[in-house]
Chain A
Amino acid sequence: MFEKIWAAHEVVPESAETPAVLYVDLHLIHEVTSPQAFTRLRSRGLSVRRPDRSLATLDHATPTDTQQVFGGVPIRLESAARQIAELERNAAESGIELLGLRDERRGIVHVIGPELGVTQPGMTIVCGDSHTSTHGAFGTLAFGIGTTEVGHVLATQCLLQRKPKALAVEVRGKLSRGVGAKDLVLAIISQIGVAGGSGMIIEYRGEAIRALSMDERMTVCNMSIEAGARAGMIAPDETTFEYLRGRPRAPSGADWDRALVAWRQLPSDKGAAFDREAALDAADVEPMISYGTNPGMTIPVGGNIPMRDDEAFLKALRYMGFAPGEAIAGKAVDIVFIGSCTNSRLSDLRAAATLLRGRKVARGVRMLVVPGSQQVKRAAEAEGLHEVFTAAGAEWRESGCSMCVGINGDTAAAGRYVVSTSNRNFEGRQGQGARTLLASPVTAAAAAVTGRVTDPRELMA
């Protein structure tokens, strides 16, 4: 599949001397990694070549506090306000569509692409954000780029790329009850390591992958980058087509029929060769949680922190305030965050709400629920999910990256423990000195209820 998409987008094939010129079908833009690219472009007297192939949104630095978004209260973080204003100006000047602060379609860049139907099988998609790999769930070649490359795409709609190698990850069997896509991808990363897919394209396949919904497939592809991979992909199938059918920007009518014919050609041919292969059994995967400072440092919620004595490992544990060999279950929690491009879609919110219904967030615990987009927010409200969250004592906020990355006002204080459905537990990611434990939405909700790291299956009827 990857080979086919690559070949269809090669404007100039690669040679020994030069990388390929690769065409980009869709360029997604947000406020944090784009300003310097627009500045560069202007200083070279260049303009945006294909504004029609770009879509911009506000998410990373954008507040999730309703008063600041809709209430007329000025954005508290001055630097964030400046970034937002700058993207507004850049988009207006270049003719790029921006889903602005109060737009009902605004949201996290990797949530809105699929939701609007702009993310489609067979495309190449790039964005100045490493989790662009999310879109690979649709059989799309999607990867993150730096700001210089954002400039290249703005100016030419192309990138210079060497063809990466491909890794197949086969997931056999079925996931058991209480175990979700987040647990699966954390298990994959802990098996292959945070550099296990270095620079490669991972294609996820097998029975367990086929059984995943699109939301779940996005969760898996999202975290490919945490295994060092450039992109993750899943071949499109009926699940993919059903998801896209009728989306506002998906093809319709005769175009839809033509698209289906084209999309069905994409899956890898039987016997397609990969540079490497890995496999695991879905039945072995348990609810997972991270205990350290990278997404490979992950164990089953019921497990113990490993015993190792290398300096990097001990440094990570010192930061986390944990000791080797300890059980992770029962550790006290200060904050629970449900959100981010990994787990903020409607099905994630439903899963968390199912566990929270009729229960309360434990005393002393703060819980934030941040929908991935304004559309997810409205859909959740239509089902009454927001009432479940607020009745439990959680905060129901506007969409954005929120506490996934502490640059929008949502942060945790030093030393605090945050059970988070996001994708990175790096030191300081959620605030200086804050300690992140990555988990699935149900595991996070369980921690909110008990105030401790808890196996969610204990709370499931």
Chain B
Amino acid sequence: MQAIRRIRSRTIVLPAADVDTDQIFPARFLTTTSREGLSQALFADWRFDASGALQPEFVLNRTESTGCSILVAGRNFGCGSSREHAPWALHDYGIRAVISTSIADIFFNNALKNGLLPVLVDAETHLWLLAHPGAEVEIDLEASTVKLPDGRRAGFPMEAFARHCLLHGVDELGYLLSRLPAIEAHERKPARHSPA
């Protein structure tokens, strides 16, 4: 995984609340066994109409969205299924951070593991961001702040270990493997609530 320190970009704003993983990555594309090139399916039913033609009014299709890597989303973004295809597709599309007031639990965890930064800001900052699509924003992971164009900064929570992994491009599996002796010791203990 690539290390992330700072993300600086104009924003794409998708204000809808409760955007679920079936919108981010429609189920019918799930029968893939690979994780490459998934951006093709990203928001497919919003980006394209039934005949496959581009929907010019959808925010991702507007010219000003080209090259943006920060998505400002409505509350409860990423609710629904555990499919990691959702963050894979966003990342493959070029999105590196999602900012909202709340992000669904499994999506949040999946995003962290794929170099897609889930950023939770206060309601006031969120409202400002929703009202200013295309604003140039800087996310500083080390300081855990979002800097708005006028210089104001809003902090965001980031679990210490996740921040460490993102900053240093470490993947969690390495850490887990380093704890194998403790895992083996745990397996030798008699189970407390089961006979097996």
List A residues at the B interface (Cβ < 8 Å).
4-5, 8, 11-12, 16-19, 21, 23, 25, 32-33, 35-36, 39, 44, 46, 60-61, 77, 79-80, 82-83, 86, 120-123, 128-130, 144-149, 151-152, 155-160, 162, 194-195, 198-199, 228-230, 251, 255-256, 258-259, 262-263, 265-266, 294, 296, 311-312, 315, 405-407, 411, 414, 424, 426-429, 431-433
Q: Which of B18, B28, B180, B185 has the most CB of A within 10 A?
A: B18
Q: Which of B82, B87, B176 has the most CB of A within 10 A?
A: B82
Does B152 make an interface contact (CB < 8 A)? no
Annotate B175-196 by CB proximity to A: 1 below 8 A, 0 otherwise.
Answer: 1110110110111000111111
Does B34 make an interface contact (CB < 8 A)? yes
Inter-chain contact B161/A33, CB cutoff 8 Å: no
CB-defined contacts of A259 to chain B, threshold 8 Å: 194-195
Min CB gap A331→B, angstroms: 22
Inter-chain contact A17/B164, CB cutoff 8 Å: yes
Not counting A146-B113, A428-B27, a sample of 7 additional A-B residue pairs whose C-beta atoms are within 8 angstroms of each other reads A18-B175, A21-B176, A21-B182, A25-B194, A129-B82, A158-B183, A194-B79
Min CB gap A73→B, angstroms: 18
Inter-chain contact A18/B33, CB cutoff 8 Å: no
Q: Which among B34, B79, B113, B195 is the interface contact of A36 at CB below 8 angstroms?
A: B34
Does B54 make an interface contact (CB < 8 A)? no
9 A-B residue pairs with CB within 8 Å: A35-B33, A36-B34, A39-B34, A155-B176, A198-B104, A426-B20, A428-B23, A432-B45, A433-B50
Q: A18-B161, A33-B82 are in contact. Are A424 and B113 (CB under 8 A)?
A: no
Inter-chain contact A262/B33, CB cutoff 8 Å: no
Does B173 make an interface contact (CB < 8 A)? yes
Q: A17-B164, A156-B180, A195-B104 are in contact. Are A414 and B50 (CB under 8 A)?
A: yes
Annotate B28-40 by CB proximity to A: 1 below 8 A, 0 otherwise.
Answer: 1011111100000
Q: How far is the CA of A34 from the CA of B120 in the complex (A)?
A: 29
Inter-chain contact B159/A230, CB cutoff 8 Å: no
Inter-chain contact A198/B102, CB cutoff 8 Å: yes
List B residues at the A interface (Cβ < 8 Å).
16-18, 20, 22-23, 26-28, 30-35, 45, 50, 74-76, 79-84, 87, 102, 104-106, 108-110, 113-114, 159-161, 164, 172-173, 175-177, 179-180, 182-183, 185-187, 191-196
Min CB gap B80→A, angstroms: 6
Q: A145-B82, A195-B76, A259-B194 are in contact. Are A19 and B159 (CB under 8 A)?
A: yes
Inter-chain contact B194/A428, CB cutoff 8 Å: no
Inter-chain contact B106/A230, CB cutoff 8 Å: yes
Q: Which among A16, A77, A160, A266 is the interface contact of B176 at CB below 8 angstroms?
A: A160
Inter-chain contact B173/A152, CB cutoff 8 Å: yes
CB-defined contacts of B20 to chain A, threshold 8 Å: 294, 424, 426
B26's nearest neighbour on chain A, judged by CB, is: A428
CB-defined contacts of A21 to chain B, threshold 8 Å: 176, 179, 182-183
Q: How far is the CA of A252 from the CA of B16 in the complex (A)?
A: 52
Inter-chain contact A251/B193, CB cutoff 8 Å: no
CB-defined contacts of B35 to chain A, threshold 8 Å: 36, 147
Q: Which among A39, A123, A146 is the interface contact of B106 at CB below 8 angstroms?
A: A146
Which A-B residue pairs are the 6 nearest by beta carbons?
A: A122-B193, A79-B31, A146-B110, A35-B33, A146-B84, A426-B22
Inter-chain contact A36/B33, CB cutoff 8 Å: yes
CB-defined contacts of B187 to chain A, threshold 8 Å: 23, 157
Inter-chain contact A17/B161, CB cutoff 8 Å: yes
B171's nearest neighbour on chain A, judged by CB, is: A148
Min CB gap A260→B, angstroms: 9
Q: A4-B193, A195-B104 are in contact. Are A11 and B31 (CB under 8 A)?
A: no
CB-defined contacts of A315 to chain B, threshold 8 Å: 16
Inter-chain contact B30/A428, CB cutoff 8 Å: no
Q: Which of B27, B81, B172, B179 has the most CB of A within 10 A?
A: B27
Inter-chain contact A123/B79, CB cutoff 8 Å: no
CB-defined contacts of A130 to chain B, threshold 8 Å: 80-82, 106
Q: A156-B183, A158-B176, A432-B26 are in contact. Are A251 and B196 (CB under 8 A)?
A: yes
A414's nearest neighbour on chain B, judged by CB, is: B50
Inter-chain contact A160/B172, CB cutoff 8 Å: yes
Inter-chain contact B176/A228, CB cutoff 8 Å: no
Q: How far is the CA of A60 from the CA of B85 in the complex (A)?
A: 15
Inter-chain contact B192/A407, CB cutoff 8 Å: no
CB-defined contacts of B83 to chain A, threshold 8 Å: 32-33, 146
Inter-chain contact A195/B194, CB cutoff 8 Å: no
Q: How far is the CA of A83 from the CA of B34 in the complex (A)?
A: 10
Q: How far is the CA of A251 from the CA of B34 in the complex (A)?
A: 39
CB-defined contacts of B80 to chain A, threshold 8 Å: 130, 424, 426
Inter-chain contact A228/B105, CB cutoff 8 Å: yes
CB-defined contacts of B176 to chain A, threshold 8 Å: 21, 152, 155-156, 158-160
CB-defined contacts of B192 to chain A, threshold 8 Å: 8, 122, 262
Q: How far is the CA of A79 from the CA of B34 in the complex (A)?
A: 11
Q: How far is the CA of A82 from the CA of B23 in the complex (A)?
A: 24
Inter-chain contact A194/B76, CB cutoff 8 Å: yes
Q: How far is the CA of A433 from the CA of B48 in the complex (A)?
A: 12
Q: How far is the CA of A426 from the CA of B16 in the complex (A)?
A: 14
CB-defined contacts of A296 to chain B, threshold 8 Å: 18
Q: How far is the CA of A311 from the CA of B102 in the complex (A)?
A: 19
Min CB gap B51→A, angstroms: 11
Inter-chain contact B28/A228, CB cutoff 8 Å: no
Q: Which among A12, A149, A199 is the interface contact of B113 at CB below 8 angstroms?
A: A149
CB-defined contacts of A148 to chain B, threshold 8 Å: 84, 110, 113-114, 172
CB-defined contacts of B113 to chain A, threshold 8 Å: 146, 148-149
Q: A17-B160, A130-B80, A155-B177 are in contact. Are A312 and B193 (CB under 8 A)?
A: no
A61's nearest neighbour on chain B, judged by CB, is: B31
CB-defined contacts of A77 to chain B, threshold 8 Å: 31
